[in-house]
Amino acid sequence: MEESQEILLKSLSTFGVSLPENVSAFSDLTPTTLISVCCQSLNIIGSNEDDDQNGVSFPDSVEDYVPMADKYKICSDTSLAFKNLGYVGDMSYRNKRTYISW
């Protein structure tokens, strides 16, 4: 499993996703860095789309001091963007399986 995680993290980096130096495995991701990775990935995917389906641009990083209302909006927008890309699972902010606690 660790080898596949390392490959995925290297692939993200190759595509232009900025990872903190201390992240070498998924277990090193904090909620803040995970959201940052997701947002950066969506921005890269969105810049390669021929037609802009959601018109949302995501922040490249999300700091811990961001107000809770802004965090909620970022997570909601991120969830909607993944759904628009075809993800069929439930990825809502309050879903216990994917809940991100800041």
> Would you give the end-to-end CA distance of the chain in angstroms?
26
Domain residues for the domain of 40 are 29-84
- The pLDDT score that the predictor gives to residue 31 is 82
Per-residue buried b or exposed e for 9-36, using 16+ beta carbons within 10 Å of the residue's own CB: beebeeeebebeeebeeeeebeebbebb
Return the closest-CA partner of residue 72 out of 41, 38, 30, 101: 101
Residue 68: inside a domain: yes
Calpha distance 28→25 (Å, rounded): 5
Q: What percent of the chain has pLDDT over 70?
A: 76
- The pLDDT score that the predictor gives to residue 94 is 57
> Helix (H, G, I), strand (E, B), or coil: what is residue 40?
helix
Residue 49: inside a domain: yes
Total number of domains constituting the chain: 1
Q: Is the pLDDT of residue 54 over 90?
A: no
Residue 67: inside a domain: yes
pTM greater than 0.85 (yes/no): no
